[in-house]
Structure 1
Amino acid sequence: MASLQHSSSFHHRTMFLNSLPHPQFGLQKHGVLPVFRRGFSFLVRAEHASLASSSISQDKCGRRQMIAVGVIAPWVSLVNQTPASFAAESKKGFLSVTDKKDGYSFLYPFGWQEVVVEGQDKVFKDVIEPLESVSVNMIPTAKQDIRDFGSPQEVAQILIKKFLAPPNQKTKIVTASQNDVDGKAYYTFEFVAQAPNYTRHALGAVSVGNGRFYTLTTGANERRWDKMKDRLQTVVESFKIFNV
C-alpha cells in the first residue's frame, strides 16, 4: 500500500488516502486551535409583554389563559428558531445532535461545549479535560460503501497514522471491526496515541453516505480511560448517517 500525501491545505484535504483502491477522501491535519463559538441569544418576543399587560383587564379565566400563553409561547418560539443541528437531551447524561443538512446524528456527554475547529464540521469537548472530545468530519467521495475502501483494519490504520494522530506520536490499533445498522455498514475502531507527555485513548467510527465519507472520533486521556470508556462507547455507537 502506498503512503498518503501529507498536506494541511484545503485542496489536499479532499484527496483520499493514496494507499486505498481509489483515492476519494482526505482528512484535516492536526494542530488547529479551537475557537469558542458564541452562545445562543434567547430573545423573548415583544408581543409576549403586550399579551401580559392586556391580560390584566381580563376575568380570572382570561388571566389564566394569558399566563399559559406567556409561559408556552417563548418556548415554542425558541424551538422554531433553533438551527437544524440542535442539542436536546435524549439519554440520561447525554445530549443529541441531529444535523438535518449534512445527514448525521450522535450523542455527546452532558457538559461538553461546542467549539469551532477549522476543517471539522462539528466538535464538542470538555473544557476542563481538553483530550475528552468528539468531532465529525466529512469528505466528498464517489464511493457508495465504506467497504469499498478496504477492511476495517486497513482503513483504521491509515486514518490513525496519517490523520487522527500527529506524526510524532506513537499509535497502536486496539480493535477494528464492522457493524451493520439499518442496512448500512460502519467501521469502528479503538486506538491509543502516545505523545511525550500524555497518551490519548480514542474510538472512531466511519461510514459512507450522501456522497461523503463521514468520520467521528472521540477519546480521553489514558489516565481517565477507565472512567470515560463507557460514555465514549455510547458516543461511537450512537453515530448514525441518514439520507438527505
Structure 2
Amino acid sequence: MASLQNSPSIHRTLLPNSLPQLGFQKKNAVLPVCRRSISVIVRAENSSMASTSLSQDKCGRRHMIAVGVVAPWVSLLNQTPASFAVESKKGFLSVTDKNDGYSFVYPFGWQEVIIEGQDKVFKDVIEPLESVSINLVKTSKQDIRDFGSPQEVAQILIKKFLAPPTQKTKIIAASEHDVDGKAYYTFEFTAQAPNYIRHAIGAVTVGNGMKLVCKMFYLVLGNALCRFYTLTTGANERRWGKMKDRLETVVDSFKIFSV
C-alpha cells in the first residue's frame, strides 16, 4: 500500500444525551423503610416493645442508607450511550483502535490473523475469501476528495493494491457519502482468478491530521500529516447472495475518529 504514493493519478501529495434516569423522586416519594414506632415505657414488661421499636428504627436507617447507595447505580446502569450501539449489533463483534482512530464490526466467528502490510485482518477460517482488512498509509492531503472522484480512486486501488495484477477486475459501483462531516468513498468490485471470483466492497477516507500549530514544522520535514484509511471486505462470488448484507454491514460500520 505504501507504493500508493507513486501512483500518477492519486499522488498529488500522498499518497450526553442519556435516557431518563431511574431513581427516587423527592416529590411524592415512597421509600421502603420501616415506620418508627413510638412507645411509652410504663412497666418493665413493656421493655420488649421498646426493643422492637429500636429495632424498627435501625431498620429504617439501614433502608435509607441502602437507597442512597443503590439509586445512583440504578441510574448509571440505565444510561445507554450511543457509542455502545455498534457493540450490540446482533451477530457481529466490534473492534476499536484507539491509537489509529478507527472502528468497525465484523461477523461473529471470524478470527484475527496477522498479514504483513495490513493493520488488522479478520477472516472466516472455513471460507478464506470471506475476510475484512484495514490498511493505513500517510498522506499530506486533508480530504479523500483531493485524490479524485470515487471512480478514479477505486480504479487505482483495485488495479494496483486490492487485487493481484494477474486477476481480471471489474468495478461495479463507486460512490461518496458523508459521516459527521467527513467524506468517505465506497466501492464494489469483482476480481476473477482462474478458479474463483471474489466479490468485494470497500471504503476509504482520510483523517487524523496534525494540529495546525505543528503543520508547518511537519511540512518542512516532508512528513505526512494525515492517514489514508482503506477497509475492504468480500466473499467468494458463489456465496455473495448469502453474505452481501453482512459485508455491507461491515463497510457501513467503518468510522474514523480523532486521536
Q: TM-score, normalised by structure 2?
A: 0.64
Q: 1:18 aligns with which of 8, 14, 35?
A: 8
SS at match of 2:160: helix
- In 1, Cα distance between the equivalents of 2:145 and 2:258? 18
Change (3 A) 1:16 1:217: farther
Change (3 A) 1:16 1:181: farther
Q: Match for residue 251 of structure 2?
A: 236
Q: Match for residue 142 of structure 1?
A: 140
Q: 2:184 aligns with which of 173, 183, 186?
A: 186
- In 2, Cα distance between the equivalents of 1:224 and 1:239? 22
- Please tell me whether the aligned partners of residues 115 and 125 of structure 1 are also in contact (alpha carbons under 8 angstroms): yes
- In 1, Cα distance between the equivalents of 2:87 and 2:180? 23
Q: Match for residue 5 of structure 1?
A: none
Q: How does 1:86-165 map to 2 (within 5 A)?
A: 89-165=87-163
Change (3 A) 1:89 1:183: closer
CA deviation after TM superposition for structure 1 residue 15, in Å: 2.1
- In 2, Cα distance between the equivalents of 1:16 and 1:89? 38
CA deviation after TM superposition for structure 1 residue 14, in Å: 6.2
CA deviation after TM superposition for structure 1 residue 136, in Å: 0.3
CA deviation after TM superposition for structure 1 residue 17, in Å: 2.0
Give 5+ residue unaligned stretches, structure 2: 16-85, 209-225
Q: TM-score, normalised by structure 1?
A: 0.68
- In 1, Cα distance between the equivalents of 2:158 and 2:93? 27
Give 5+ residue unaligned stretches, structure 1: 1-7, 26-87
- Please tell me whether the aligned partners of residues 113 and 122 of structure 2 are also in contact (alpha carbons under 8 angstroms): yes
Tell me which protein shows more helix as a share of its residues: 2
Supply the RMSD in Å over aligned alpha carbons.
Answer: 1.4
Instruction: Tell me the amino acid that sits aligned with residue 22 of structure 1.
Output: R
Aligned-residue identity in percent:
78
Instruction: Tell me the amino acid that sits aligned with residue 145 of structure 1.
Output: D
